[in-house]
Amino acid sequence: MSSSTPSPSSPTEWVEQAAEHTEAALEYMRQFGVEPEGHIRPFLPPDTRQDHIDRIPYTHDVRQRVVYKTEPGEFSARCPFSGLPDFGTVEVTYVPGDWILELKSLKYYFMSWRDIGAAQEDITALLFEDLMAELENPARLTITTEYNVRGGINTTCTVDSTNQ
């Protein structure tokens, strides 16, 4: 994983970076005629997320399916239109190649999304790209996000390595 924008190191830096990114995101959406309603809370860009997940060698000949799923309320990011939290669950399913993910590090990675503003579909794609980069060669990787209902619409996004 690469991180081109360093994470803010001070509260002042956080506010400045969040304000810049929030305005840039809103300007992008204006191109498509989308205007936010109400109060906007600032958020950070996706490239400020944790840029590494620890991993452990998988040395077995046995192929197994590994599933990690967050509990409701454990994963959130920010709506890129309002800055309000978007809560959801993340399910990671994979068949290990040479590596497995270390769970504490994975948890901190998920937590690093809390102040990031991005579309739900973009977040799912970025989760897939990040985890594929860390696992390097899984036989299969599927990332599914399911977000809390908002405006009467349930959003579920899935990226599966067999479709890439």
Give the residue numbers marked as catalytic.
Answer: 79, 86
For 160, residues 6+ apart whose C-beta sits below 8 A from its C-beta are 140, 141, 142
SS3 content of the chain, % helix, strand, coil (to 5): 30, 30, 40
Question: What's the longest Cα–Cα distance across the chain?
Answer: 55
What does the block give as tokens for 82? 């309002």
Q: Where are the beta strands (DSSP E) in the chain?
A: 55-57, 66-69, 75-78, 85-95, 99-101, 140-150, 153-160
